[in-house]
Amino acid sequence: MFPDFITYLDDEKSSFEGTRAALNFQGRSIPVRNNIARFTPDMNYSVGNFSKLRERHATLQMDSLNGTNERERTILERTGWAPEFFKGKTILECGCGAGPDTEILRKFGARVMAVDIAGVDTAKDNLGEDENVNFVQASIMDLPFKKKSFDIVWCHRVIQHTPDPIATLDHILQFVKEDGAVFVQSYARTPVQMLRWKYALRPVTKRMNPEKLYNTIKAYGPFAFKLTNAIHKIPGGKYFNFFCVPFLNYRHAARFDGMTDAQMLEYGIHDTFDALSPAYDKPISARKMKALAARHLKSPVEIEEQHTITLMRTKP
Ligand SMILES: C[S@@+](CC[C@H](N)C(=O)[O-])C[C@H]1O[C@@H](n2cnc3c(N)ncnc32)[C@H](O)[C@@H]1O
């Protein structure tokens, strides 16, 4: 936990109760367990799917444990920022998951306020107790912090999983300092994206019992992994896989070099469940992201729309 954690809270009078098992915040008593303040209840819309991924694949995406530099590479490519840019900055990480970004941001020398609505204990297990990392169980639709208090607001692969992504983006952008930086990634609202198998299947799969859905994907995963590898070799096969086969196989993506086939299969099961199970998956248009950036940010910002993702990032 940050030694100065409570100074970030939107209540000048907030304080820990005697044994630090609770926090007084805006007239409420917020439970603190495992040194994590819990501003939201343990049960929420994210528990059935994202918590399950945390439990089953706790360390899969952690560069320090999976033998790749996939996250570090992705972060540097998507932000365009140099590792030195992060040094000494305090980052509000919105939706940290199991902590794969958190560990890279820490490695680059940042202090990270890592927030998630579910599965935060797994992230804490992955990163350990650290005075430069502060985990918080809260919703990024209702953050307990003072506005304009972070050097960087960071939100990677999360915003589309909230019930109202525009309102969520509008909310989180208020927490960056006037001269601060922002990195937000959203699924893109492009025809290429919206025509994929995922959006045809989700009306059914998001309503399925998460355990049943997970077991189904796990059962067909090994066959789908082999099949998609074979189809990939046929001319045009990668496009067929992309649009038609409900299994995410990244075997041929350079950033996963270093992973074994067994790890890639696990990745495929993880990400296919991640695609089909969330209660919400609402890509935002680049136009709306631009409008929100213009409303909140003083620093020059660019919006880059790719086929499947849109990136919002300030220029250093
Ligand atoms: C696809 S995961 C991404 C996690 C991490 N950023 C990463 O890149 O690995 C989406 C995360 O968003 C979290 N999430 C969804 N809705 C949220 C909300 N309202 N507040 C905070 N976190 C939320 C989920 O619990 C999950 O951990």
**pLDDT tens-digit profile of 145-155?**
999 999 999 99
Instruction: Name the more confident of 248 and 48.
Output: 248
Identify the residue with better confidence: 50 or 27. Answer: 27
> How far is 179 from 314, CA to CA, in rounded Å?
10
* 117-146 per-position pLDDT tens digit: 999 999 999 999 999 999 999 999 999 999
CB-based contact 151:270 (threshold 8 Å)? no
- What is the enclosing helix (H) or strand (E) of 182? strand 176-187
Q: Kindly list the structural domains of the chain, giving each domain's residue range(s) and its CATH number in brackets, ordered by start.
A: 54-189+284-314 (3.40.50.150), 207-276 (no CATH)
pLDDT at 89: 98
Cα–Cα nearest to 183, from 151, 161, 144, 138 = 151
CB 303 within 8 A of CB 310: yes
For 81-99, write each residue's pLDDT tens digit. 999 999 999 999 999 999 9
Q: Is 94 helix (H, G, I), strand (E, B) or coil?
A: strand
Ligand 1 atom closest to the Cα of residue 115 is 21
Nearest CA to ligand 1 atom 26: 97
Question: 0.85 cut: is pTM over it?
Answer: yes
The minimum-distance atom of ligand 1 relative to the CA of 40 is 20
Sign, CA torsion 32/181/122/54: positive
- Give nearest CA residue, ligand 1 atom 16: 162
- Give the containing element (helix H, strand E) for 155: strand 150-156
